[in-house]
A and B are shown apart, each in its own frame.
Chain A
């Protein structure tokens, strides 16, 4: 278990108000590491129009296809 990552995990969970039961900590930490990696994957250049919609609706985000 990476100490720095584990310290970050402990800090972030505590800040969120979560008291992680000790017997559940290892599995939760593994998911944290996986999520951290995934969050990095998301950080690539994006087109300006790639902005979040408040509600995900295909008919509002794909009007140009004309096939809905």
Chain B
């Protein structure tokens, strides 16, 4: 074992645990030390559950010694976005409205991770209620580990920062309009928004019932596939959960893309005013790489992005308003400015507005899946339009300027298709750039296969930032 423990992939760490070269206690203590040294630099974790984590790690070690093996995540540290309910552990949604909230039950995904023997090391930073942001919240914003003057992408801010910082190989996030894929892109890690209904949303604080997806941010495509094997599955207590059996999401890793047909949705982002030439060049190069690996890559046209955006935004804010209606009336100043300013105006929407959005949603979903995704195995496009913005570009009041929070991700929340963000290169300023791969519904196996082929060809999977411990104030 030549790598530092935090550099091991989940599979490598699992092998070392079973070969007796590593214990979960050693691995967990190592990442806790690393978090202790560097978390104040990036503000990825809002709560570290060290004592509990070490107890779980000791249990994981004892079980392995006794021949009890719970699978690939047994003894592996991970973090949860602080909107996942954790029994007996504060779950704040980074909101003054929730700072004292301690749930009685775990979220379904957390239940699955615990059953799998994984070791929770803490709760991760988030934009308020997975939507807001700004600097007037209980916890300061997470910083981009590649350059702490820059944004992580939103809203699973701590999840992206934690994986990129080498704190954990797996951090669970949520994605309503891009909140897994945006931080994955800007922090240079892998993020999967699974198909709607594949992973239970139960116990994850809702932003928008019909657009929320929960999924992993991870250090590699394989790490993400291993995580999905654990958290995917039917949950009768989630009304949107779909029973599609239990495929092995790692099954086709390493099989390459020879002969696969990949539609390049270049027009989805190439004409956006202000799109970075570096982003364009990086995604074009990714298309060439996939073609070089034997895939048939050809440009495809999708419905107008502005229609997807309008449809998704209207449904998201209408549903968010329904969630927060009472507090918006009675405790407006307990919301951060961004969350209030984004959600409250949904009070002006009409019932007809929402119904029109649902009607359009159905048409867009059918059009995508009977059009470009019928003739192609998957789609390639960008995630972000620019490298991560500087944090000091964000004003006190919503909205931020220009393209600072713009990502081309919302279409696949509207349609529910699986979408994966992953690194494709770096800007001249040293910030990550990333692609987005989109699959057919419940076809994550093939999506991971394509992503793994690209990851191997790009050689970017293990590139990580060098962190410097924050100076202590006098």
A31 CB to closest chain B CB (Å) equals 4
Chain A, residue nearest B441 (CB): A58
Q: Which of B263-271, B349-357, B450-458 is the interface stretch?
A: B349-357
Known interface pairs A52-B358, A68-B441. Does A39 touch B353 (Cβ–Cβ under 8 Å)?
Answer: yes
Assess A46 versus B359: contact at CB under 8 Å? Given A35-B345, A35-B346.
yes
A1 to B416, CA, bound (A): 37
Does B6 have its Cβ within 8 Å of any Cβ on chain A? no
A35 touching B348 by the CB < 8 A rule?
yes
Segment of B155-163, B303-311, B427-435 engaged in the interface with chain A: B303-311
> Measured between alpha carbons, how far is A13 from B244 in the docked complex, in Å?
43
Contact of B240 among A30, A35, A55 (CB under 8 A): A55
Nearest CB to that of A14 among chain B residues? B347
Say yes or no: B358 contacts A31, CB within 8 Å. no
CA distance A29 to B328 in the complex (A): 15
Q: Give the interface centre of A36, A38, A43 by most chain B CB atoms within 10 Å.
A: A38
CB distance from B391 to the nearest CB of A (A): 18
A-contact 0/1 string along B40-80, CB 8 Å cutoff = 00000000000000000000000000000000000000000
With a cutoff of 8 Å between Cβ atoms, the chain A residues found around residue B397 in the complex are 24, 26-27
Give the number of A-B contacts (CB < 8 Å): 147
Cross-interface CB contact of B340 among A24, A57, A68, cutoff 8 Å: A24
* A51 contacts B362, C-beta separation under 8 Å: yes
CB of B310 to closest CB in A, whole Å: 4
Contact between A13 and B344 (Cβ–Cβ < 8 Å)?
A: yes
Contact A58 B357 (CB under 8 A): no
Q: How far is the CA of A55 from the CA of B360 in the complex (A)?
A: 15
Residues of B within 8 A of A12 (CB): 347-348
User: Could you say which residues of chain A place their CB within 8 Å of the CB of B362?
Assistant: 49-53, 61
What are the residues of chain B within 8 A of A13 when measuring CB–CB?
344-345, 347-348
Q: Are B341 and A27 in contact (CB under 8 A)?
A: yes
The verdict on A28 contacting B369 (CB below 8 Å), with A18-B347, A58-B197 known, is no
Name the interface residues of A20-67: CB closer than 8 Å to any CB of B: 20-21, 23-24, 26-32, 34-39, 41-44, 46-47, 49-53, 55-59, 61-62, 64-65, 67
CB-defined contacts of A28 to chain B, threshold 8 Å: 340-341, 344-345
CA distance A17 to B242 in the complex (A): 38
Task: Flag whether B292 is at the interface (Cβ < 8 A).
Answer: no
Instruction: Tell me if B258 counts as interface (CB < 8 A to partner A).
Output: no
- A13–B344 Cα gap in the complex (Å)? 8
CB distance B242 to A50 under 8 Å? Answer: no
Q: Is the CB of A57 within 8 A of B242?
A: yes
Asked if B366 and A56 make an inter-chain contact with CB atoms under 8 angstroms apart, the answer reads no
Given contacts A27-B337, A32-B345, contact A42 B310 (CB under 8 A): yes
Is there contact, CB below 8 Å, between B360 and A17?
Answer: no
Q: How does the 8 Å CB contact mask read for B301-340 relative to A, with 1 for contact and 0 for none?
A: 0000011011101100100000000001100110001101
Inter-subunit contact B374/A65 (CB<8 Å): yes
Q: Does B277 contact A (CB under 8 A)?
A: no
In the complex, B442 has a CB within 8 A of chain A? yes
- How far apart are the CA atoms of A56 and B241 in the complex, in Å? 10
What bracket does the count of chain A residues touching chain B fall in?
A: 35 or more
Max chain A Cβ within 10 angstroms of own Cβ: one of B239, B328, B348, B365? B348
**Which residue from A38, A46, A56 sits with its C-beta under 8 Å from B363?**
A46
B440 contacts chain A at the CB level, 8 A cutoff: yes
Nearest A residue to B362 via CB reads A50
Contact indicator A65/B353 (Cβ below 8 Å)? no
| Pair B366/A62 contact, Cβ less than 8 Å | yes
Q: A31-B398, A55-B239, A58-B242 are in contact. Are A50 and B363 (CB under 8 A)?
A: yes
Known A13-B348, A39-B349, A58-B242; judge A31-B341 contact (CB<8 A). Answer: yes
Question: Could you tell me the distance between the alpha carbons of A68 and B373 in the complex, rounded to whole angstroms?
Answer: 13
Q: Mark B429-472, 1 if CB is under 8 A from A, else 0.
A: 00000000000111100000000000000000000000000000
Q: Is the CB of B359 within 8 A of A50?
A: yes
**B147 on the A face (CB < 8 A):** no
* Bound Cα distance from A44 to B363, whole angstroms: 12
Which A residues lie within 8 Å of B338 (CB)?
27
Q: Is B361 an interface residue (CB 8 A)?
A: yes
B416 in contact with A58 (CB, 8 Å): yes
Residues of B within 8 A of A57 (CB): 196-197, 240, 242
Task: Point out the residues of chain A lying under 8 angstroms from B370, CB to CB.
Answer: 64-65
10 new A-B contacts at CB < 8 Å, known A27-B398, A57-B242, A65-B374 = A21-B332, A24-B337, A29-B345, A39-B349, A44-B360, A51-B358, A58-B197, A65-B369, A68-B441, A68-B442
13 contacts between A and B (CB under 8 A): A24-B344, A27-B399, A28-B344, A31-B398, A35-B317, A35-B345, A38-B309, A41-B307, A42-B311, A51-B358, A52-B362, A53-B358, A67-B440
Q: A-B pairs with the 7 shortest C-beta distances?
A: A52-B358, A27-B341, A16-B347, A38-B310, A27-B397, A12-B348, A32-B345
